[in-house]
Copies of this chain bind each other. A is one copy, B any other.
C-alpha cells in the first residue's frame, strides 16, 4: 500500500518534477512568515547581567543560531527537561528524532540519494551496453534528466533497482562510502558530506550533552545513510531509521551474506514515520525536527505525548546562502505542516533569520574515506 502512495526506496516522489526543471526557478516563498511562536514559555532575552560571574559564563552551545525566540525556546526546552521540576524527563526517555533530507543535510536541487543513483548509472554504464538504447538509462546517460523521468515515479524504479540492489549489504556500504568520498554538490561545490547544516549539528550535540539519544528518522534509504551518519552527525547506524528494501540471507560458498533484493520493505515517510519510530525505537520522542510535510505525522506523534515537547520545522528561507522553497516546492514541500506549526505553536526556524551560518567550515576530513 505504501508503494502506490509514496515513492520507491524513500526518494520523495515530488522530487521528480523539480528535477525535470533542473531547479531553474525556485517557487516564491510564503510571503509573510508569522513571528516565531513561543509555545515553550521561552525566557525573553534579558539586559541584566547573568547571576554567574563572567569567568564562569557558560559557553554558547548554539553559536550558529542568532539570538532570538527560536534559539531561546530550544535552550529553554533542554533546560526544563533536564532540571528537577515538573517538566523533568528521565534520561532514558530523552529521545529526539531528526528528519535527514532538508533537516540535517541539503535536499536541493535533488535528494542526495538521487544524485548518487544517477552517478552510479553513469559509473555502471560500461558494464551495461544495452542501456544506451533503453530508457530511462539512455536519457540519464545523455544528461537528459527531464527525459529520464518523463514517465514519472515509475521511471525511477529501474534506476534504483540497477544501482541499489543485486549486491550484498557489505558491497553496497562500500559503494556508498566511496561515492561520498569524492562526489561534490553541484551548487555549493563542496563534498556532500559537508552539505550538512551547522546549526543542526549544534542542536544534535546540545541534546546529546544533555542525555538525549538522537535518532535519524528519514524517508531516505536506511543503508544509504548509515555508512556516513556516524561521521557526519555522530549518530550510529543503530540509531538510523529509514526506508528499507527487501533483504535475503544466503550462504555463498558456506559464507553467509545478506543480499539486497528488488522490492520495497517499508517506506519510512509521512504516516510511515510514527510507525518506523514505534518499530525501531519503541517509545515516543519528546523532541522532533523536520522540514516538510513528510515530517508532519512525526511531529504530531511527538506532540501528542504528555509533558514538555519540542517540535521544530526548518524553513528554507535563504535563497542566497542555500535555496528558498516551501509551499510550492516539489522537493521538501512544506505546506500543511507549516499551517499546523503556526496553529499549534511548533517552532519554525528560518534559515535566513535564525541561522548565522548554514554549512560547517570546509574541512578535508569531512569527506568519508572508503574502507
Chain A residues engaging chain B, CB cutoff 8 angstroms: 92, 95, 169, 213, 222-223, 226, 230, 236-240, 244, 247-249, 251, 255-256, 258, 265, 271-272, 274-275, 278-283, 297, 300-301, 304
Contact = CB atoms under 8 A, between A and B. Distances in A.
A263 to B, nearest CB: 11
A281 B247 contact: no
Given A237-B282, A280-B280, 9 more contacts: A92-B236, A238-B239, A238-B280, A238-B282, A240-B282, A249-B297, A256-B297, A256-B304, A258-B301
Contacts of A223: 282
22 contacts: A92-B230, A92-B236, A169-B278, A213-B238, A223-B282, A226-B282, A237-B281, A237-B283, A238-B239, A238-B282, A240-B282, A247-B278, A248-B271, A249-B271, A249-B272, A249-B275, A249-B297, A251-B300, A256-B274, A256-B300, A258-B301, A280-B280
A301 B256 contact: yes
A282 B222 contact: yes
Nearest to A301: B256
Q: How many copies does the complex hold?
A: 2
Contacts of A280: 238, 280
Given A226-B282, A238-B281, A275 B297 contact: no
B244 A279 contact: yes
Contacts of A300: 251, 256
A258 B238 contact: no
A247 B275 contact: yes
Nearest to A255: B304
A274 B249 contact: yes
Nearest to A244: B279
A236 to B, nearest CB: 6
Contacts of A281: 237-238
Contacts of A95: 238
Contacts of A256: 274, 297, 300-301, 304
A92 B301 CA distance: 30
Contact of A274 (B222, B237, B239, B258): B258
A314 to B, nearest CB: 22
Contacts of A249: 271-272, 274-275, 297, 301
Contacts of A247: 275, 278-279
A47 B247 CA distance: 51
B301 A278 contact: no
A301 B254 CA distance: 11
Nearest to A227: B282
